[in-house]
Amino acid sequence: DGGITQSPKYLFRKEGQNVTLSCEQNLNHDAMYWYRQDPGQGLRLIYYSQIVNDFQKGDIAEGYSVSREKKESFPLTVTSAQKNPTAFYLCASSSGSSGNTIYFGEGSWLTVV
């Protein structure tokens, strides 16, 4: 089945550690995105990529890094520089030709302990 796969679903991190969230899509979409979701704040854009080997900062990129070496993969690293990393992280993708409909993965819960 086509879709977006995020892993792991749940992740615990100790303060000071970096952690990488995986996102893979088999929809053949050009664009991929990472959003952060906090209660009562909606979805905020962290990074997005319109094409392989290129990505742009979103509204809250500080403390995060990404790479886009393959069309189907867009991993997100939450670094120790991110002061409040506990959140629900959503990966998404869209077709470059329409760019309208964004499809989301099922998310990854990150908790700092």
84's tokens: 């409040």
Task: For residue 84, state whether it binds other proteins (rule: CB under 8 A).
Answer: no
24's tokens: 């893979």
Task: For residue 4, state whether it binds other proteins (rule: CB under 8 A).
Answer: yes
49's tokens: 């990529």
Instruction: Give how far Cα 42 sits from Cα of 6, 36, 87, 88, Å.
Output: 19, 8, 12, 11
Nearer to other proteins, 16 or 39 (CB): 39
CA angle 48, 56, 58 (to 5 degrees): 70
- Tally of CB atoms within 10 A around 105: 21
Task: For residue 104, state whether it binds other proteins (rule: CB under 8 A).
Answer: yes
Q: Work out which of 85, 105, 110, 112 binds other proteins, going by CB under 8 A.
A: 105
| Candidate segments 16-24, 57-65, 68-76, 77-85, binder of other proteins by CB under 8 A | 57-65
Task: For residue 97, state whether it binds other proteins (rule: CB under 8 A).
Answer: no
Nearer to other proteins, 31 or 52 (CB): 31
Query: Applying CB under 8 A, which residues contact other proteins?
Result: 4, 33, 40-45, 48, 56-59, 90, 92, 99-107
